[in-house]
């Protein structure tokens, strides 16, 4: 549930979203499928996710900006992104960042 990432540097995609009140089973199915698909991508390092009422934060970790770019353009992921905009989310923000340091307990 806390991703086991390698020593920095690596990249984090921080995806913060606000859900609509559309409750269809396809949302959860698609979220699971996207995790499964992301795990198959070259350069994928891990993912963490939490949703509390309408606000959700998903952080995925990647080896490189190229890996992130390829994942963003993946055909099945593009379909999910479109459905996100048209059905599931009222708003979202995606931030692409380079992890410089980390520490844990």
Q: Which residues bind a copy of itself (CB under 8 A)?
A: 1-3, 5, 8, 12, 14, 16-18, 48-52, 54-57, 59, 65, 84-85, 89, 91-105
**What gap in Å lies between CA 28 and CA 25, rounded to an integer?**
6
Burial of 80 (0-12, 13-18, 19+ CB in 10 A): middle
The secondary structure element, H or E, covering residue 51 is strand 44-52
Preceding omega of 9 cis (within 30 degrees of 0): yes
Name which of 39 and 49 has its Cβ closer to a copy of itself. Answer: 49
Name which of 42 and 51 has its Cβ closer to a copy of itself. Answer: 51
CB of 90 to a copy of itself, least distance (A): 9
CB 92 within 8 A of CB 15: yes
CB of 45 to a copy of itself, least distance (A): 11
CB of 77 to a copy of itself, least distance (A): 15
Name which of 41 and 81 has its Cβ closer to a copy of itself. Answer: 81
CB of 24 to a copy of itself, least distance (A): 19
Contacts of residue 27, Cβ cutoff 8 Å, sequence gap at least 6: 87, 88
């Amino acid at each position: 549930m806390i991703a086991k990432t390698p020593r920095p540097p690596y990249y984090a995609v921080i995806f913060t979203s606000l859900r609509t009140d559309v409750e269809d089973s396809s949302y959860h199915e698609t979220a699971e499928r996207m995790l499964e698909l992301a795990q198959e991508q070259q350069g994928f390092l891990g993912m963490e996710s939490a949703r509390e009422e309408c606000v959700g934060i998903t952080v995925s970790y990647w080896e490189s900006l190229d890996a992130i770019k390829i994942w963003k353009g993946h055909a099945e992921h593009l379909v999910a992104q479109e459905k996100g905009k048209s059905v599931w989310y009222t708003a979202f923000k995606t931030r692409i960042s380079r992890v410089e340091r980390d520490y844990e307990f």
